[in-house]
């Protein structure tokens, strides 16, 4: 059976540098969220296909990759970065039609981040070293950092290329082989990545990319005895299931980047224009379908009314439609199911006493669009203040003191990302130190970079993407001790 093509891409599973159909010919359909119409049919990996991908990776690791010099790994990562940069327009187009991401935002954000990550970790390939230990006169002792072997990454639909590269770059730099399970809702960037991996010259089996349902392909990877590590980005509930699967199989390593309910604290002395700019972007970028979204906005009582008024005026309207068009400022929600989930959360938030500033309704015809939405006077126990909605829904409330703001910001099961807005360095130092969050920005939101680790506290997960710290979860430490006899 021969795999078909869509947008010039093969729709098969990428295993051993070849695109092949799934076992039994299983496929899944994807939808263009901007139109609600059928977009593509791609192969859907089954348990047998996961076995094939693991076998290919194991063979490649033992046959060549384990002994491959670090300079070769660096060269391949740099070549992959060049190819992504060359084809960035195609990748941005795929992200727009597949995931509903704005073309311009993808170019600046997801694709640029991917290129930077690859180049950053290429530089680390020959610098992952151990330590010489003090043998206390008993001989020679040292440690080495070694790869784990066959690893897997399960990536989400909201930034499928970038988060795949967040896993791929350090995994390969550390000497591992990798199986990437792409998201069933947005698999096309992964199909393109498979082509580029092959063109870059990676030997067969080093990087395998399969699409499939999480309940089938993802579950099979999590339970597989031949997989030494799972890196997962997604919901907290699925993260728990992966941990259970690891415990019930081979106790594979796990790193989890999970949900968030990011607070933004706006103090009375903040530059209001700057705070408005970043808090609006923090909840409207990609329709708030970002784990680091600044969905809770805590504003000092001295500027609260003015802030809410300006936030309402500046964020309520946005040109929505085709994410490929330059004039579009708001793309679609990823799916009909996600749209309905957001609308239900908004309805419950209104019932729980929140004052709706604007939005809260589906808009347009033929696609999955929703208005930018904001509540003020939100009770801390309301669903819109407590739960990750994964939509463009801001919950604004006021505070009186610094201590109150910090306590309320930390009153969440999550701890992924936060922001602080103030003109006082003293305030910024105190508050950032007190925040229970893995990533905190001051007078801005986001600010991701390849050299900076990103990950969460509490139920936002553990492990880090980015920076030297990410390499720790893709390697293991070996201690070697030599007994040296005294000369006679």
Residue 382 pLDDT = 87
First-residue to last-residue Cα distance in the chain:
72
Residue 80 pLDDT = 98
- Estimate the share of the chain in helix, then strand, then coil, as percent rounded to the nearest 5: 40, 20, 35
353 pLDDT band, cuts 50/70/90, is confident
Residue 487 pLDDT = 55
Catalytic residue among 184, 195, 223, 257: 257
Interior angle at CA 75, CA 74 and CA 77, nearest 5: 65
Residue 68 DSSP symbol: S
Nearest to 394 by CA among 435, 358, 420: 358
472 a catalytic residue: no
The Cα–Cα gap between 112 and 119 comes to: 11
381 pLDDT band, cuts 50/70/90, is confident
> 286: helix, coil or strand?
helix
Residue 36 pLDDT = 96
- Domain 5-258+461-478 = CATH 3.40.605.10: yes
Given a cut of 90, is residue 209 above it in pLDDT? yes
Residue 188 pLDDT = 97
User: Burial, 450: exposed, middle or buried (Cβ in 10 Å; 0-12, 13-18, 19+)?
Assistant: buried
> Helix 70-86 vs helix 160-173: angle between axes, to the nearest 10 degrees?
160
Query: What is the side-by-side order of every strand in the sheet holding 140-147?
Result: 132-133, 140-147, 475-482
Given a cut of 90, is residue 400 above it in pLDDT? yes
Half-sphere exposure of 405 (CA within 13 A, CB side): 28
Q: For the chain, what percent of residues have pLDDT higher than 70?
A: 98
Residue 3 pLDDT = 62
State the pairing for strand pair 150-154/229-233.
Answer: parallel
Across residues 296-311, what is the average pLDDT?
98
> 152: helix, coil or strand?
strand
Q: For the chain, what percent of residues have pLDDT higher than 90?
A: 92
Residue 1 pLDDT = 44
Catalytic residue among 151, 291, 371, 436: 291
User: Burial, 152: exposed, middle or buried (Cβ in 10 Å; 0-12, 13-18, 19+)?
Assistant: buried
Residue 379 pLDDT = 86
Tokens of 443: 């007078």
Residue 234 pLDDT = 96
Q: What is the pLDDT of residues 159-196, one digit of tens each?
A: 999 999 999 999 999 999 999 999 999 999 999 999 99
347 a catalytic residue: no
Given a cut of 90, is residue 328 above it in pLDDT? yes
Tokens of 169: 């770059």
Given a cut of 90, is residue 6 above it in pLDDT? no
State the pairing for strand pair 207-211/177-182.
Answer: parallel
Q: What is the pLDDT of residues 250-266, one digit of tens each?
A: 999 999 999 999 999 99
Give the start-to-end residue ranges of the domains of the chain: 5-258+461-478, 263-450
Q: How far is CA 116 from CA 32, 71, 110, 153, 451, in A?
A: 28, 18, 10, 19, 9
Q: What is the pLDDT of residues 101-157, one digit of tens each?
A: 999 999 989 999 999 999 999 999 999 999 999 877 778 899 999 999 999 999 999
Residue 354 pLDDT = 81
Across residues 375-382, what is the average pLDDT?
89
Across residues 226-237, what is the average pLDDT?
97
Comparing 5 with 468, the larger pLDDT belongs to 468
Specify the fold of 263-450: Aldehyde Dehydrogenase; Chain A, domain 2 (3.40.309)
């Amino acid at each position: 059976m021969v795999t078909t093509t869509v947008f010039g891409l093969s729709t098969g599973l990428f295993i051993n540098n070849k695109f092949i159909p799934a076992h039994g010919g299983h496929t899944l359909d994807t939808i263009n969220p901007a139109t609600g119409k059928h977009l593509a049919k791609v192969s859907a990996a089954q348990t047998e296909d996961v076995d094939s991908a693991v076998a290919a990776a194991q063979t490649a690791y033992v046959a060549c990759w384990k002994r491959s010099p670090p300079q070769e790994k660096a060269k391949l990562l740099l070549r992959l970065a060049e190819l992504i940069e060359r084809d960035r327009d195609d990748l941005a187009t795929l992200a727009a039609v597949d995931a509903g991401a704005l073309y311009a935002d993808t170019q600046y954000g997801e694709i640029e981040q991917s290129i930077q990550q690859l180049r950053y970790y290429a530089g680390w390939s020959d610098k992952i070293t151990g330590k010489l230990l003090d043998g206390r006169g008993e001989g020679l002792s040292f440690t080495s950092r070694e790869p784990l072997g066959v690893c897997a990454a399960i990536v989400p639909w909201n930034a499928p290329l970038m988060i795949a590269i967040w896993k791929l770059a350090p995994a390969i730099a550390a000497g591992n082989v990798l199986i990437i399970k792409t998201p069933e809702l947005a698999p096309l960037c992964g199909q393109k990545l498979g082509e580029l991996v092959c063109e870059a010259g990676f030997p067969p089996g080093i990087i395998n990319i399969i699409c499939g349902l999480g309940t089938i392909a993802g579950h099979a990877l999590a339970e597989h005895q031949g997989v030494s590590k799972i890196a997962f980005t997604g919901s907290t509930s699925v993260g728990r299931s992966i941990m259970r699967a690891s415990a019930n199989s081979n106790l594979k390593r796990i790193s989890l980047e999970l949900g968030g309910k990011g607070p933004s604290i706006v103090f009375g002395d903040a530059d209001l224009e700057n705070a408005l700019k970043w808090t609006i972007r923090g909840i409207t970028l990609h329709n708030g379908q970002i784990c680091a979204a600044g969905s809770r906005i805590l504003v000092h009582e001295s500027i609260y009314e003015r802030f809410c008024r300006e936030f309402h005026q500046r964020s309520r309207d946005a040109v929505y439609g085709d994410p490929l068009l330059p004039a579009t400022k708001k793309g679609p929600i990823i799916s009909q199911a996600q749209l309905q989930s957001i609308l239900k959360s908004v309805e419950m938030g209104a019932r729980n006493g929140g004052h709706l500033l604007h939005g809260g309704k589906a808009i347009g015809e033929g696609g999955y669009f929703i208005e930018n939405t904001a509540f003020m006077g939100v009770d801390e126990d309301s669903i819109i203040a407590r739960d990750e909605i994964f939509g463009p829904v801001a919950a604004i409330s006021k505070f009186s003191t610094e201590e109150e703001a910090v306590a309320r910001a930390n009153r969440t099961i999550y701890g992924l990302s936060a922001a602080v807005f103030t003109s006082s360095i003293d305030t910024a130092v105190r508050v950032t130190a007190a925040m229970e969050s893995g990533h905190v920005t001051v007078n801005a939101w986001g600010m991701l970079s390849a050299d900076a680790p990103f990950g969460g506290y509490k139920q936002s997960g553990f492990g880090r993407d980015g920076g030297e710290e990410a390499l720790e979860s893709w390697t293991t430490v070996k201690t070697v001790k030599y007994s040296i006899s005294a000369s006679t």
